[in-house]
């Protein structure tokens, strides 16, 4: 017998069967999928929920990927996907999800629960540059991701340092600076309102004291004593 996926849809069972299972307490609704009530809320499950009903060659990205990575509490109302710009993918005009073509390297995509998803670095990179997302919301999400991975901040700095001509680079750098400050505040329990920070680094990357303009390289600060640092927020 073929094993059913963790996230069920009408391609797996009829709507009547799904509703009956929900009434019996066996399933509950998560986004556009139906999930066993006792299934642990893990990244693999979240990825399958997002991908339910979508073509398998799409890549989960942006806010949907942030949910898969555990950076937000709920998925977006419309799932967000991308494909490499040179891929040939036909999408029905009636699709209920968002879809776009992007330049993306193979090492920026990972398999989570059998679903293709942007990795943490690419997900944060996309959110930092997405002008459609409120600044405070984007900063909060990326700050949370930074607290989960010590190598994420330097990876993002390196990614933005190389990409000199991308749209919204200055926006991304400003958001990243704020996210790094917020992440350090969370880790060290410091009140940012006082303007003094006793931890200068997050993931080995010093806070930037000014916002680089588009095309300007990121300059790493010299090593300084933690107790002598005043962070410009």
> What are the tens digits of pLDDT across the range 209-229?
444 444 444 444 333 333 333
- Give how far Cα 193 sits from Cα of 96, 109, 202, Å: 42, 38, 18
* Helix pair angle (120-129, 152-162), 10° resolution: 60
How far is Cα 75 from Cα 179, in angstroms, rounded to an integer?
Answer: 21
> What are the tens digits of pLDDT across the range 8-32?
888 888 899 999 999 989 998 998 8
How far is Cα 99 from Cα 97, in angstroms, rounded to an integer?
Answer: 6
Mean pLDDT of 53-75: 95
CA angle 179, 183, 189 (to 5 degrees): 140
Q: How confident is the model at residue 123 (pLDDT cuts 50, 70, 90)?
A: very high
* Residue 195 reports pLDDT greater than 60: no
> What are the tens digits of pLDDT across the range 170-193?
999 999 999 999 988 765 554 444
Q: Do residues 186 and 202 lie in contact, with contact meaning Cβ atoms separated by under 8 Å? A: no
Least confident of 124-133, 155-164, 200-209: 200-209
Q: What is the rounded (10 degree) CA torsion for 14, 18, 21, 23?
A: -120
Helices (H) and strands (E) in the chain, counts: 7, 9
pLDDT of residue 138: 98
């Amino acid at each position: 017998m073929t094993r059913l996926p963790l996230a069920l849809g009408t391609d797996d069972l009829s709507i009547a069967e799904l509703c009956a299972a929900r009434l019996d307490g066996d399933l509950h609704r998560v986004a556009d999928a139906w999930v066993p009530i006792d299934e642990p809320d893990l990244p693999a499950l979240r990825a399958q929920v997002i991908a339910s009903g979508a073509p398998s060659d799409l890549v989960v990205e942006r806010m949907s990927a942030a949910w898969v990575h555990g950076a937000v509490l709920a998925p977006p109302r419309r799932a967000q996907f991308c494909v490499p710009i040179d891929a040939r993918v036909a999408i029905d005009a009636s699709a209920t999800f968002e879809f776009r073509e992007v330049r993306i390297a193979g090492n920026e995509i990972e398999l989570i629960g059998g679903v293709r998803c942007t990795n943490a670095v690419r997900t944060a990179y996309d959110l930092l540059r997405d002008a459609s997302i409120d600044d405070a919301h984007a900063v909060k999400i990326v700050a949370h991701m930074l607290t989960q991975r010590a190598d994420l901040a330097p990876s993002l700095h390196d990614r933005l340092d190389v990409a000199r001509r991308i749209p919204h680079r200055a926006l991304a750098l400003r958001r990243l600076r704020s996210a790094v400050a917020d992440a350090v505040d969370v880790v060290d329990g410091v009140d940012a309102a006082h303007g003094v920070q006793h931890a200068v680094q997050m993931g080995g990357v010093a806070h930037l004291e000014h916002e680089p303009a588009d095309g300007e390289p990121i300059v790493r600060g010299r090593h300084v004593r933690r107790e002598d640092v005043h962070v410009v927020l």
